[in-house]
Amino acid sequence: MSRPLSDQERRKQISIRGIVGAENVAELKRGFNRHLHFTLVKDRNVATPRDYYQALAHAVRDHLVGRWLRTQQYYYEKDPKRIYYLSLEFYMGRTLQNTMINLGLQNACDEAIYQLGLDMEELEEIEEDAGLGNGGLGRLAACFLDSMATLGLAAYGYGIRYEYGIFNQKIRDGWQVEEADDWLRHGNPWEKARPEYMLPVHFYGRVEHTAAGAKWVDTQVVLALPYDTPVPGYMNNTVNTMRLWSARAPNDFNLRDFNVGDYIQAVLDRNLAENISRVLYPNDNGWLKTAEQPLSSGHCRDVLGVFQAARMGCPRVPHVSPLPSPQVAIQLNDTHPAMAIPELMRIFVDIEKLPWNKAWDITKQTFAYTNHTVLPEALERWPVDLVEKLLPRHLQIIYEINQRHLDHIASLFPNDVDRLRRMSLIEEGGTKRINMAHLCIVGSHAVNGVAKIHSEIVKTQVFKDFAALEPEKFQNKTNGITPRRWLLLCNPGLAELIAEKIGEDYVRDLSQLTKLHEFVDDDLFIREVAKVKQENKVKFALYLEKEYKVKINPSSMFDVHVKRIHEYKRQLMNCLHIVTMYNRKPPRAPRGPAAPGYHMAKMIIKLINTVAQVVNNDPVVGSKLKVIFLENYRVSLAEKVIPATDLSEQISTAGTEASGTGNMKFMLNGALTIGTMDGANVEMAEEAGEENLFIFGMRVEDVTELDREGYNAQEYYNRLPELKQAIDQIKSGFFSPDEPDLFKDVVNMLFHHDRFKVFADYEAYVKCQEKVSELYLNSKAWTKMVIRNIAAAGKFSSDRTIKEYARDIWHVEPSDLKIPPPNEPRDAAEDKTLNGTAA
Ligand SMILES: *Cc1c(COP(=O)(O)O)cnc(C)c1O
Closest ligand 1 atom to the C-alpha of 660? 8
User: What per-residue confidence (pLDDT) applies to 754?
Assistant: 96
Q: Is the CB of 135 under 6 A from ligand 1?
A: yes
Closest-CA residue, ligand 1 atom 15, reads: 635
Closest CA to ligand 1's atom 9: 563
Q: Is 588 tagged catalytic? A: no
Among 58, 70, 372, 626, the active-site one is 372
CB atoms within 10 A of CB 564: 19
Is residue 731 among the annotated active site residues? no
* Ligand 1 pocket residue status of 139, Cβ below 6 Å: yes
Question: Measuring CA to CA, how many Å separate 59 from each of 53, 185, 380, 819?
Answer: 10, 21, 44, 22
Residue 790 predicted with pLDDT over 90: yes
248, 381, 445, 564: the active-site residue: 564
**Concatenated DSSP letters for 438-459?**
HHHHHT-SEEEESSHHHHHHII
Mean pLDDT across the chain, nearest whole number?
90
Amino acid at 596: P
Ligand 1 atom nearest residue 569's Cα? 9
Query: Which residue type, as a one-letter code, is found at position 430?
Result: G
Phi and psi at residue 548, in whole multiples of 5°? -120, 0
Question: Which residue has the CA at smallest separation from atom 11 of ligand 1?
Answer: 135
Using alpha carbons, select from 529, 557, 558 the residue that is nearest to residue 788. Answer: 529
Element (H, E) at 365: helix 356-366
3-state helix, strand, coil in the chain (%, to 5): 55, 15, 35
- How far, in Å, from the CA of 140 to the mean position of ligand 1? 9
From residue 813, how far is each of 207, 722, 798 by CA, in Å? 42, 57, 16
Q: How buried is 104 (Cβ within 10 angstroms: 0-12 exposed, 13-18 middle, 19+ buried)?
A: middle
Q: How far is the CA of 197 from the centre of ligand 1 (A)?
A: 34
The DSSP 8-state label assigned to residue 52 in this structure reads H
Is ligand 1 within 6 A of the CB of residue 59? Answer: no
Residue 319 among the catalytic residues: no
Eight-class DSSP state of 625: B
Asked if residue 136 has its Cβ within 6 Å of ligand 1, the reply is yes
Q: Contacts from 826-833 at CB under 8 Å and sequence distance 24+?
A: 830/77, 833/77
Q: Note the pLDDT of residue 300.
A: 60
Nearest-CA residue for atom 5 of ligand 1 = 662
For residue 105, the CA-to-ligand 1 centroid distance in Å is: 27
What is 336-348 written as a DSSP string?
A: TTTTHHHHHHHII
Given the residues 459, 477, 563, 606, the one annotated as active site? 563
pLDDT for 172 beyond 80: yes
C-alpha 536/C-alpha 669 separation (Å) is 10
* Residue 602, C-beta contacts closer than 8 angstroms, at least 6 positions apart: 175, 176
Least confident window among 322-326, 342-346, 448-452:
322-326
What burial letters (b/e) apply to 12-47, b meaning 16+ CB within 10 Å? eebebbbebeeebbebbbebbeebbeeebebeeeeb
CA distance 169 to 537: 24
Identify the H or E element spanning 156: strand 155-160
Q: How confident is the model at residue 310 (pLDDT cuts 50, 70, 90)?
A: low
Q: What band does 339 get if pLDDT is binned at 50, 70 and 90?
A: very high
Q: Among 315-324, 411-420, 480-489, name the one with the lowest average pLDDT.
A: 315-324
Say how many Å lie between the CA of residue 687 and the centre of ligand 1: 21
Q: What is the CA radius of gyration of the chain?
A: 28
Residue 387 CB contacts under 8 Å (≥ 6 apart), including other chains: 299, 394, 395, 398, 434
Assess whether pLDDT exceeds 70 at residue 209: yes
Please state, in angstroms and rounded to a whole number, the distance separating the CA atoms of residues 313 and 84.
10
Q: Which comes out higher in pLDDT, residue 14 or 49? A: 49
pLDDT in tens, 718-733: 999 999 999 999 999 9
Catalytic residue among 569, 577, 731, 803: 569
Report whether 326 contacts 320 (CB < 8 A). yes
Which residue's CA is the nearest one to ligand 1's atom 1? Answer: 662
DSSP state of 39: I
Q: Is pLDDT above 90 for 823?
A: no
- When pLDDT is cut at 50, 70 and 90, the band that residue 585 belongs to is confident
Task: Determine the 3-state secondary structure of 210 from DSSP.
Answer: strand
Average pLDDT of span 407-435: 96
Q: How confident is the model at residue 251 (pLDDT cuts 50, 70, 90)?
A: confident
Query: Dihedral of CA 660/665/668/673: which sign?
Result: negative
Question: Which domains can be identified in the chain, with CATH numbers?
Answer: 13-80+94-128 (no CATH), 81-93+129-247+261-479+801-810 (3.40.50.2000), 483-794 (3.40.50.2000)
Residue of 90, 91, 167, 651 to mutate, ligand 1, most atoms within 8 A of C-beta: 91
pLDDT classification of 394: cutoffs 50, 70, 90: very high
Q: How far is CA 68 from the centre of its chain?
A: 24
3-state SS record for 214-279: EEEECCEEEEEEEEEEEEECCCCCCEEEEEEEEEECCCCCCCCCCCHHHHHHHHHHHHHHHHHHCE
Cα–Cα dist 37/572, whole Å: 53
Counting atoms of ligand 1 from 1, which one is nearest the CA of 638?
A: 15
Residue nearest to atom 10 of ligand 1 (CA): 135
DSSP category for residue 481: B
182: helix, coil or strand? coil
Nearest to 494 by CA among 453, 538, 525: 525
569: annotated active-site residue: yes
Q: Calculate how far, in angstroms, residue 60's C-alpha sits from the geometric centre of ligand 1.
A: 28
Residue in 564, 574, 652, 666 to alter for ligand 1 test, most ligand atoms within 8 A of Cβ: 564
**Best residue among 489, 563, 569, 635 to mutate for probing ligand 1, ranked by most atoms within 8 Å of CB:** 563
Residue from 562, 640, 681, 801 to probe ligand 1 pocket by mutation (most atoms less than 8 Å from CB): 562
Check if 372 is active-site.
Answer: yes
H and E: helices and strands count for the chain? 33, 23
Is the minimum distance from the CB of 563 to ligand 1 under 6 angstroms?
A: yes
pLDDT at 534 over 80: yes
Cα gap 487→503, rounded to integer Å: 15
Q: What is the pTM of this model?
A: 0.94
pLDDT per residue as tens digits for the range 83-113: 999 999 999 999 999 999 999 999 999 999 9
